[in-house]
Structure 1
Amino acid sequence: MTSKYGPWGIVAGGSDGIGAAFAHEMAARGLNVVLVARRIPVLEAFAEEIRAKHGVEVRTVALDLSASGALAELASVTSDIEVGLFVYNAGGDDFSTPFLDKDLATHLLLVHRNCDSVLEAAYRFGGPMVTRGRGGVVLVTSGAAWAGGATLATYGATKAFDLILAEALWAEWHASGVDVLSLVLGKTDTPSMRRVFDAKGEPYGEVADPADVAREALDHLGDGPTWIFGSPDPTGASPLGALSRRDAVLVMSRAR
């Protein structure tokens, strides 16, 4: 992995859940890792865990990716290293509620973190990869991107943005030696998912293991543009693709 992508990888949203699983898997494959998240004590403790288990270099960058200037700061503090793999995993929605039950500021922060910051990350870190002729970008998106659904308006819309952005970047960059993968996930056992279900008092049901997600995504990073985790046809079409748009929206809404 280091020879194909480079010595360093960044995991945005890298302190728990899927991001933590990516950090472990990347380090296990020899990459030094930059962990990006908001909570400094959690970041530092997790960095020590990665160093002890995998023997790689680990940097921590405490940033709120919904804040203005966060990606410019991240690019600045990592300007002395060659970043060959960027995983953008931040952007879960802890509160699956009707559109008008959230205040406008909450919606706009989610849009900024899941759209503006993702685009800026791809631009700032993907550009040098294209210039070098090697690298990889993983944008973690969601089955919520397949169609609109009740209580998923903003979250689903942002994840659709990420899915289409990754596919377009794959089309532009894969001939230059840069792999881009839109990683579409269903229900995955993360702290964010547990908060949503705990708030509703609902059982978790069948969920994916973040370690399996990270391992499969890195194994298939070169099989873009899109990988649907858990699907019998992971490079195939949307599972709702045979439905009319209206029926797809109704199915998505009943699933909530």
Structure 2
Amino acid sequence: MTSSYGPWGIVLGGSDGVGVAFAHGMAARGINVVLVARRVPVLEQAAALIRLKYGVEVRTVSLDLSTPDALAELERRTADLEIGLLVYNAGADTSSVAFLDRDIDGHLDLVRRNCSGPLEAAHRFGAPMVARGRGSVVLVTSGAAWAGGATLATYGATKAFDLILAEALWAEWRDSGVDVLGLVLGRTDTPSHRRQAEAKGDAYDTAGLADPYRVAEEALDHLADGPTWISGSPDPTAGSPFAAMKRRDAVLAMSRGAATAAGKKADGRH
């Protein structure tokens, strides 16, 4: 993998869950890793384990990706490295609530992490990859991108942005030696998922949840099979599961699914 992509990879949102699983998978393949997240103790703990287990170099960068200068700062702090693999995994929504039940700053922070962030990261770190003729970019998106849904307004919209961005970059860079993959996640056993359940007072049940390490391994094995990879699907390169539906029906189905996932009953109103 280092010969195909380069000696260093960056994982944004790399302190736990799918992000740290990607870091382990990259390190197991001989790639040195830059872990980016906000929480310094969790970052350092993850980095220490990866160094011990795989013997690779690990650099930690504590950043709040919702701030305007975060990606410029990350570029400055990794300017001495050849980054060949970029995984943008930040931007989970740990409080799925109705649109007006979240303040505007919360919505805008999510947009900055999930839209401005991956766009800027892809531009800053993708340009050198294209110039070198090798590299890979993974934008982690979600099944929430397939259609609008109640309590998923901003989150689903940002993940749709990530999906379209990944597909477009794949189309532009496919002949340049740079692989781009939009990784569509379903419900996955992550700390953010656990925190969401705890905040609502729900019992946490891992039944039906994907294992983050299997998700990361699957993606790393299929970096060249873009533009889109639907994790855990029997047909991972297929289109939207709602493709045969009218948009209205798809939105209602997504809303029912969101309500069920939240442990509530959808009322079925149109």
Q: Same fold (TM over 0.5)?
A: yes
1:161-184 deviations in whole A, cap 9, x for unaligned?
A: 000000000000010000000000
Is the 2:170–2:181 Cα contact (8 Å) retained in structure 1?
Answer: yes
Q: Aligned to 1:225, which of 224, 227, 248?
A: 227
In 2: Cα distance, 1:142 partner to 1:211 partner? 16
Matched, 1:44 2:18: no
AA at the equivalent of 1:156: G
Is the 2:194–2:204 Cα contact (8 Å) retained in structure 1?
Answer: no
Matched, 1:140 2:140: yes
Secondary structure in 2 aligned to 1:235? Answer: coil
Comparing 190-199 and 34-43, the one that deviates more: 190-199
Is the 2:144–2:155 Cα contact (8 Å) retained in structure 1?
Answer: yes
**Shift, 1:127, TM fit:** 0.3
1:168: which partner in 2?
Answer: 168
In 2: Cα distance, 1:80 partner to 1:130 partner? 18
AA at the equivalent of 1:7: P
AA at the equivalent of 1:229: S
2:257: which partner in 1?
Answer: 255
Secondary structure in 1 aligned to 2:121? Answer: helix
**Shift, 1:198, TM fit:** 2.6
Matched, 1:241 2:231: no
2:62: which partner in 1?
Answer: 62
1:216: which partner in 2?
Answer: 218
1:156-213 deviations in whole A, cap 9, x for unaligned?
A: 0000000000000000001000000000000000011112223331543410000000
Q: CA RMSD in A?
A: 0.8
Comparing 192-201 and 173-182, the one that deviates more: 192-201
TM-score (norm 2): 0.94
In 2: Cα distance, 1:51 partner to 1:198 partner? 32
Secondary structure in 2 aligned to 1:49? Answer: helix
In 1: Cα distance, 2:238 partner to 2:198 partner? 33
2:149: which partner in 1?
Answer: 149
In 2: Cα distance, 1:88 partner to 1:8 partner? 14
Secondary structure in 1 aligned to 2:189? Answer: coil
**Shift, 1:229, TM fit:** 0.6
Secondary structure in 2 aligned to 1:221? Answer: coil
In 1: Cα distance, 2:40 partner to 2:197 partner? 26
1:119-176 deviations in whole A, cap 9, x for unaligned?
A: 0000000000000000000000000000000000000000000000000000000100
AA at the equivalent of 2:233: S
Q: How does 1:86-97 map to 2 (within 5 A)?
A: 86-97=86-97
**Shift, 1:108, TM fit:** 0.3
AA at the equivalent of 2:213: A
Matched, 1:81 2:111: no
1:34: which partner in 2?
Answer: 34
AA at the equivalent of 1:54: Y
TM-score (norm 1): 0.99
Moved over 2 A (4+): 197-200, 202-205
Secondary structure in 1 aligned to 2:93? Answer: coil
In 2: Cα distance, 1:230 partner to 1:53 partner? 27
* Identity, % of aligned positions: 72
Secondary structure in 2 aligned to 1:118? Answer: helix
Comparing 155-164 and 193-202, the one that deviates more: 193-202
1:2: which partner in 2?
Answer: 2
